[in-house]
Structure 1
Amino acid sequence: MKLNLLMRGLSGEYAVSRLAPGAAVPPWVSGPGLVNVTHAEDEISIVCLAERVPEDCESSAGWAAFQVSDLFDFDAPGVVLAAVRPVSEAGLGVFAISTFYRDYLLVRQTELAAAVKAWQVAGHQVEV
């Protein structure tokens, strides 16, 4: 089954930051936009608007965020693959996040036009 997705761009520049394992989640994480905090054994990763990340924090800024706006069943197969594959096959990097209802992709802002084109060629609708 071929999925045609609606990719909706979120406003702002995003950053992916790293904290040491066991660190407290800092207050600068909270605010508008997409926020994701992932606690893992060896790190804490934070995705949020880049403007909130302190300069002394290890991070990678310059990301554009897109929401897969279609709602699918929690375990619907192929949704993330349908969103990631065109970008990956175009030779672009992608950072994927999934929540209960939706999936989000981050692509480099410098590669935004190429990512949008790749999604459109794959049959997806893109709202930047």
Structure 2
Amino acid sequence: MELHVIDENFTVCKLEDCSGVDPNTPWCFLSRTDEEISLVCPTGRVPANTLVREDGWRAFRVQGVLDFSLIGILAQISGILAEGKISLFAVSTYNTDYILIKEPDFGRALALLEQSGCRIH
């Protein structure tokens, strides 16, 4: 499995509404449910109407387009990180998965994944 490190610092937010979000911003992951509006975005792009925020995240992407029939990719990554006692925040898109790790654990997370056979770019 190939993983691509994203050269960006991220924030996970809970928003009051979507008015301050520019969906054309690269690395903008917006989700809305019946209970909340969440945003993952570059730390420098956090909207003013943020209710709660968690700074200090780094991310990598599972490289390539993942077919919906593929099974266990997130389970494999999360299992390796769980054994290393590293928590994650996952975001899935139509094409692939993005894994966010808190900055202090990011280097160790990549090392564990590389030791398990992942190629890091």
TM-score (norm 2): 0.88
Structure with greater proportional strand content: 2
- Equivalent residue number for residue 123 of structure 1: 117
Distance 1:31 1:19, change over 3 A: same
When normalised by structure 1's length, the TM-score is: 0.84
Moved over 2 A (4+): 26-33, 54-57
Change (3 A) 1:10 1:46: same
Extract unaligned runs of 5+ from structure 2. none
Percent identity, aligned pairs only, is 23
What are the equivalent positions in structure 2 for 1:49-128 lying under 5 Å apart?
49-54=42-47, 57=50, 58-127=52-121
Deviation at 1:91, TM superposition (A): 0.3
Which residue among 15, 19, 29 is the counterpart of 1:19?
A: 15
| Long gaps (5+) in structure 1 | none
Moved more, 31-40 or 100-109: 31-40
Instruction: Report the Cα distance in structure 2 between the residues aligned to 1:65 and 1:9, rounded to whole angstroms.
Output: 6
CA apart distance, 1:79 = 1.3
2:30 corresponds, among 25, 32, 37, to: 37
* Aligned positions, number: 120
Q: Does the Cα contact within 8 Å between 2:59 and 2:100 map onto a contact in 1? A: yes
Pairwise CA distance, 1:75: 2.7
Q: CA deviation at 1:73?
A: 1.1
Rounded to whole Å, the distance in 2 between the matches of 1:75 and 1:34 is 25
- What RMSD over aligned residues (CA atoms) do the two structures have, in Å? 1.7
Cα pair distance change 1:44/1:122, threshold 3 Å: same
Q: How far off is 1:56 after superposition?
A: 6.4
For the residue of structure 2 that corresponds to 1:77, the secondary structure is coil
Do the aligned partners of 1:29 and 1:48 also contact (CA within 8 Å) in 2?
Answer: no
Q: Say whether the 8 Å CA contact 1:29–1:52 is kept in structure 2.
A: no
Q: Is the 8 A contact 2:4 2:60 kept in 1?
A: yes
Could you say if the C-alpha distance between residues 67 and 14 of structure 1 is closer, same or farther in structure 2, counting changes exceeding 3 Å?
same
